[in-house]
Amino acid sequence: MAEFRLPPNSRIRGGVTHRAPAGAQEVRTFRIYRFDPDSGENPRVDTFELDVSGCGPMVLDGLISIKASVDSSLTFRRSCREGICGSCAMNINGINRLACTTSMHELGREIRIYPLPHMPVVKDLVPDLTQFYAQYASVKPWLQTETPPPPDRERLQSKEEQEQIDRPAACILCACCSTACPSYWWNSDRYLGPAALLAAYRWIIDSRDEATGERLDALEDPFKLYRCHTIMNCTDVCPKDLNPAKAIAEIKKMLIERQS
Residues within the interface to other proteins (CB under 8 A): 4, 6-7, 9-10, 12, 33, 35, 37-38, 40, 42-43, 91, 93-95, 112, 114-122, 127-128, 180, 182, 185, 229-233, 235-236, 241, 243, 245-246, 249-250, 252-253
| Minimal distance, residue 112 CB to other proteins, in Å | 7
Of the two residues 4 and 142, which places its CB atom closer to other proteins in the complex? Answer: 4
* Nearer of residues 84 and 231 to other proteins, judged by Cβ: 231
Helix axes 212-219, 194-204, angle to 10 degrees: 160
How far apart are CB 233 and other proteins at their closest, in Å?
A: 5
Residue among 22 and 256 whose Cβ is closer to other proteins: 256
Q: Do residues 255 and 218 lie in contact, with contact meaning Cβ atoms separated by under 8 Å? A: no
Query: Closest CB to other proteins among 26 and 166?
Result: 166
Closest distance of CB 144 from other proteins, Å: 25
- Nearer to other proteins by Cβ, of 43 and 86: the residue is 43
Phi–psi pair at 137, nearest 5 degrees: -65, -30
Cα 193 from Cα 78, distance rounded (Å): 23
Looking at residue 58, what DSSP letter applies?
B
Q: Say how far apart CA 49 and CA 26 lie, in whole Å.
A: 10
Within 8 A by CB and 6+ apart from 237, the residues are 95, 96, 97, 176, 177, 180
- Residue 50 beta carbon to other proteins: minimum distance, rounded to whole angstroms: 20
Cβ-Cβ contacts under 8 Å for 56 (sequence gap 6 or more): none
First to last CA, the chain: 34
Smallest gap from residue 150 Cβ to other proteins (A): 34
